[in-house]
Structure 1
Amino acid sequence: MSMIDLFAMRETFNRQQIMLCFNGPISRSLIEEIGNALRNYLAADHAHPSAAMDVFAVYIEMTQNIRHYTRDRGWSEQDASATVVVSRDDNGHYVVSSGNLIEAADGEVLVNSIEALGLLDKAQLKAAYKEQLRRPRDAEVSSGAGLGLIDIARKSSEPLKAALQPADNGKAFFSLRAVI
């Protein structure tokens, strides 16, 4: 393997205003450690307290969803890896993005759910959140695209964006982007 051009990577990260980037297997302790680093970075960046809390909450929700999904399927460490990026956009908003392998059929359902959430305004998202809270929960069934996803949509200043790219063995790479 040739040497990684860290300078070029640094320049790319700076140009795209990437504050935090992780790629690899994700455990509960790693989610916590990266979360602590994110909190410290947001404090050093003088983020407004409510924005910092929302960025942190969205990061936690996204990473825990990935961990739970892959753990429930008993996937290998390689298949259970995640890519997580926290950056700023040109308007100074925080952007939390995550991606992971997912069963292609699950991904299609998830993308459709996210697109449907994108059609809702803040009041409709609040109502959907309350409705989801009242629904009985079946412990045996994965809720996917439920309360946590609605909460991410509520915290976002723009509609969520999702993408699905085909991968091997009936899987796809699912990406989610939230702007805070």
Structure 2
Amino acid sequence: MSSPDLYGLRERFETDNILLCFNGPISRSLIEEIGNALKNYLKSEQLSPASALDVFAAYIELTQNIRHYATTSQLPGADTATVIVSHSEDCYRVAAGNIVKLDDGHALVARIEAFAKMDKVELKAAYKTQLRQPRDENAVTGAGLGLIDMARKSSKPMQSTLRDIGDGTAYFSLSIQI
């Protein structure tokens, strides 16, 4: 096994203004530790408290969704996440990805595309409608508010990709700009 080109990786991080990058199995404690590092970085950058909270909230939502999906789907490799936080042109981008079942990925991409067509007023209405929906006590997922909330906080429509990787699985990624 050859040694990785760390300088080349560093150069790529600088070119793409990547502040934080993680690739590997995600756990609750790891989400918390990386989140603390992100909070400290945002504080040092003197980002407005509201913007810092939005960036942090997007990171938490994305990573917790991956962890929850990995637990409920029991799909091998679904707990291995790639998470990137970058900064450019006065905005932050939070992106995360993991392996999903192909059908689940298509459904998620369709939802995100629907949100991308909504303006802020429509997203607020969708959020309120979802908030009022009765929760199924036996449901294994949350109320579904997190994705809508991220769409509301994003300064541009969320972007998602789905790459078929065979055997009924795909690599799903979601990116939010704040």
> 1:84 maps to which residue?
83
1:114 touches 1:145 (CA, 8 Å); kept in 2? no
Q: CA deviation at 1:43?
A: 1.0
Q: CA deviation at 1:142?
A: 4.5
Q: CA deviation at 1:48?
A: 1.4
Q: CA deviation at 1:79?
A: 3.5
> 2:91 maps to which residue?
93
> 1:104 maps to which residue?
102
1:113 touches 1:145 (CA, 8 Å); kept in 2? no
> 1:156 maps to which residue?
154
CA deviations over 1:115-136 (Å, ceiling 9, x no partner)? 0000111111111001000001
RMSD after superposition = 1.4
TM-score of the superposition, structure 1-length normalised?
Answer: 0.94
Unaligned ranges ≥5, structure 1: none
Q: Tell me the distance in 1 between the aligned counterparts of 2:35 and 2:91.
A: 18
Q: Tell me the distance in 1 between the aligned counterparts of 2:86 and 2:168.
A: 31
1:165 touches 1:173 (CA, 8 Å); kept in 2? yes
Kindly report which structure 2 residues correspond to 1:1-180, keeping only aligned pairs within 5 A, or say none: 1-76=1-76, 78-89=77-88, 91-143=89-141, 146-180=144-178
Q: Tell me the distance in 1 between the aligned counterparts of 2:7 and 2:71.
A: 35
Q: CA deviation at 1:2?
A: 0.5
The residue type equivalent to 2:5 in the other structure is D
Q: How many residues align?
A: 178
1:86 touches 1:97 (CA, 8 Å); kept in 2? yes
2:66 touches 2:78 (CA, 8 Å); kept in 1? no
TM-score of the superposition, structure 2-length normalised?
Answer: 0.95
Q: Tell me the distance in 2 between the aligned counterparts of 1:160 and 1:88.
A: 16
2:131 touches 2:143 (CA, 8 Å); kept in 1? no
2:85 touches 2:93 (CA, 8 Å); kept in 1? yes
Could you list the structure 1 runs, at least 4 aligned residues long, displaced by more than 4 angstroms after superposition.
142-145
1:110 touches 1:144 (CA, 8 Å); kept in 2? no
2:26 touches 2:79 (CA, 8 Å); kept in 1? yes
- Aligned-residue sequence identity (percent) comes to 54
CA deviations over 1:88-119 (Å, ceiling 9, x no partner)? 13x22000000000100000000000000001
The residue type equivalent to 2:46 in the other structure is H
The residue type equivalent to 1:68 in the other structure is H
Q: Match of 2:147, SS?
A: helix
Q: Match of 2:166, SS?
A: coil
Residues 27/142 of structure 1: CA separation in 2 closer, same or farther (3 Å cut)? same
Q: Tell me the distance in 1 between the aligned counterparts of 2:166 and 2:145.
A: 30
